[in-house]
Structure 1
Amino acid sequence: MFLNRKSLWPHLLRWEKRAAETDRPFRLRFGTLFIGHAGAAREVLLDSADNYLSQSGFFRIGPTPLSAELRARASRELVMVLSRHARPSAFALDAALQQVGDGRRRLRHQRWGVELIRRYFAPVIADQRHTEINSLVDAYVTASVIGDDIVGHLVRGPHHTVPAVRAGFAEHLGRLPARESSPTDLVDIVLGLEGELSLADRAQLLQRLVLSTVGFTGVALEWVVLLGVQYGYNTPAVRPEDVRSLVREALRLYPTAWRLVRVAAVDHELAGLSVRAGEHVLIGTHAIHRAGPVWDEPLAMRPTRWEETTEGQRQSYLPFGKGEAMCPASGFALKALEHLGYLILRDYQGSVRLRRSAPHARTLLAPPAGWTRLTSHR
């Protein structure tokens, strides 16, 4: 189902509506248990996490995560590498916007944010010394992250591209010397992982890190800029704290990671329902983020709500997940969104044109088809 060429947004709306009509999880047509309430989500992710298989969206080979020790070490190194790149003063934003636009300052939705973040994080993905690897990263971002995980109209292409990119990563990783110092980029992180990992394994880990670094953050940036333009935040008078609230509200209404999936490890009960070992549980962050009892006017775009939040709202906010499998770089993703969102909305006038009104949901929840046009305030 998740490889359907069409957007899954209509399904999300149905699940969201059904979650609002019941106080417990329910099974979808294809058997997966759907959770649309924060209490049950917390039980799965935190309180009773031992009932579910250990997993990681970042550090795994196929469905099998690396050991907890390796994941912890890799997460620490990822944070260390990203911390060196926080708010890079050398990033040429205007030139990057021209490169990802169409020559008339139009930024095509479902594409431009990923391409911009690819450039923003270029020094920490594969430093300039990795010329061939950088070319493979670009091919993967274009054909798979954009073509499959976001747009989804070109299903055949990514299925051929991903194996070729992995093979290329493995070949070039094998030519690099062993890491002798602290890591400077994602390539160093995967090269330095201990254990019996083949070059193909390390290539797959690099690919997953590129998806998490570029894909999720890039789509979120598109939402921040689109909503910022629509709601009057693109003005020289905008403040960093205004954009900080805008980022959080954009991730509430349109969480890029619209679902968190867990697999039951043992038979158990969840909110009064029987869950069998091997069964998939889908946590709908979009439904939890729009729950009426928790969020006042849940479908309204109200960034000011983040000036003062309740405990229930804080527990219901899951844009990066919770628990062991939570995104290890969530803090730096927020910093990048706040930094770039602020610079773009402060320095550029904007207008938005949508070809469709509904968001586009596949692996990632992206803005509707269309474009945003930016012109400098200067």
Structure 2
Amino acid sequence: MFLNRRGLWSHLRRWEQLAADTDGPFRLRFGTLFIADADAAREVLVGSAENYLSQSGFFRLGSTPVSHLIRTEASRELIAVLARHDLDSAFDVDAAIRELSDHRSRLRHQRWGVGLIRRYFAPAIADQRHTEINALVDDYVTSSVIADDIVGRMVRRPHRSVPLIRAGFAEQLRQLPVRSADAEDLVDLVLGLPGELSPADRAQLLQRLVLSTVGFTGITLEWVVLLGIQYGYNRPTVRPEEIRSLVRETLRLYPTAWRLVRVAATDHQIAGVSVHEGEHVLIGTHAIHRSEAVWDRPLEVCPSRWEKPTDDQKRSYLPFGKGEGMCPANGFALKALQHLGCLILRNYRGEVRLRRRKPHVRTLLAPPTGWTRLTGTG
């Protein structure tokens, strides 16, 4: 669909303007119904979710979600796995930044955040004993999460790396026993899921969990550090509560998951507009987050707005979605972003250089091409 196009940022900005000029949902040129109202969005995601095909961005095989039982178990186990690791105290952020920087101490946008988050969540993704699986995870992050979902290189030609990596995951998972105790990592999690899932099915679920864990969080970390440097949060005295507000404002202005798509399961209406079975409904998170009707100076970076957000602002804030399809690990993602953002902005001097001014939009909404230089203050 629209992901095969170039220059998606201009499309997003045009849709935001159309949303501002239109009262209610409207159809885009390719027929998809676009929603930029928080109440209508919540109606689709929660209030009348039965009117749409069951959907999950993480727990699905191809475009088909796994059963409700498996999704419930997987969500519960994902939260438990993350909770079992004291990632904050175990992570060496200085070593990670050194490894990811070039010889001029520069971190390349659209890549470094994912690399750092891959290292941060490494114990929760796959234990060190899973040598082959960890190598495959690294290949998948480089060749698919970065090259496809962020940069978009692979969109216009056959994508050969993902099936090969998935086959490698399946072969490794086939050789491992199901853990009898509680899951310690995502490998244990997918192995222990109930139901008649083949090794290839479990491999695909592992890939999607890696994408959700490192892709979305890594790109948001890049935005947090970039905006923190540009707007005065890059100082030794910055407080955790300031970074918390900065993270929330970053996810408002540049929601990594910039759209949520649902497919109608039956004929019905949304805010007075008829929707027919099989039609796509696109919820523009970016447009909802930039509505002048809800946000004062919506295009400005203003973290202080989160000190006393209004009820309308709370209802209109949907960076992780809502309802059954909501990201189950959003609490841990926020915790990681706040912790790492504080560490980096407090302990490093920062410099940003942008080759382009516009954000880069593919599957994820990423910072413009360019680099950030971090120099330790110690």
TM-score bucket of the superposed structures, by smaller chain: over 0.9
1:165 alignment counterpart: 165
SS, match of residue 353 in structure 1:
strand
Query: Stretches of 4+ moved more than 4 A in 1?
Result: none
Mapped to 1, the partners of 2:158 and 2:312 lie a distance apart of 40
CA contact (8 A) 1:78 1:186 kept: yes
Unaligned runs of 5+ in 1: none
Report if aligned partners of 1:143, 1:158 keep a CA contact under 8 Å in 2. Answer: no
Residue 89 of structure 1, CA deviation: 0.9
Q: Counterparts of 1:189 and 1:74 in 2: how far apart (Å)?
A: 7
The aligned residue for residue 349 of structure 1 is 349
**What residue in structure 2 maps to residue 198 of structure 1?**
198
Q: Counterpart of 1:216?
A: 216
Tell me how far 1:154 sits from its aligned partner. 4.0
> Relative to structure 1, is the Cα distance of residues 156 and 188 closer, same or farther in structure 2, using a 3 angstrom cutoff?
farther
> TM-score, normalization: structure 2?
0.98
1:143 and 1:2 map into 2 onto residues whose CA distance is: 21
Question: Which residue pairs with 1:140 in the alignment?
Answer: 140
TM-score with structure 1 setting the length: 0.98
CA distance in 2, matches of 1:87, 1:130: 18
SS in 1 for 2:15: helix
Partner-residue secondary structure (3-state), 2:160: helix
SS in 2 for 1:88: helix
- How much does 1:6 deviate? 2.3
Q: For residue 261 of structure 2, what is the aligned residue in structure 1?
A: 261
Q: What RMSD over aligned residues (CA atoms) do the two structures have, in Å?
A: 1.1
C-alpha displacement of 1:3 = 3.6
What one-letter code is carried by the residue in structure 1 that aligns with 2:79?
A: V
Conserved 8 A contact 1:353-1:370: yes
Q: What does the per-residue CA deviation read over 1:197-243, in whole Å, with 9 as the maximum and x for residues that have no partner? A: 01110000000000000000000000000000000101000000000
Amino acid at match of 1:335: K
**CA deviation string 1:33-53 (max 9, x = no partner):** 111111110110111111111
SS at match of 1:266: coil
Number of aligned positions between the proteins:
378
- 1:105 equivalent to 2:105? Answer yes
Cα distance, 1:86 vs structure 2: 4.5
User: How far apart in 2 are the matches of 1:158 and 1:233?
Assistant: 43
2-structure distance, mates of 1:187, 1:22: 47
Shift of 1:158: 7.3
State whether residues 320 and 326 of structure 2, in contact with CA within 8 Å, keep that contact through their aligned partners in structure 1: yes
Matched, 1:69 2:69: yes
Higher alpha-carbon deviation: 339-348 or 82-91:
82-91
CA distance in 2, matches of 1:122, 1:156: 31
Q: CA deviation at 1:2?
A: 3.5
The unaligned stretches of length 5 or more in structure 2 are: none
Q: 1:86·1:332 contact (CA, 8 Å) conserved in 2?
A: no
Query: Shift of the alpha carbon at 1:350?
Result: 0.3
How high is the sequence identity, in percent, across the aligned residues? 72
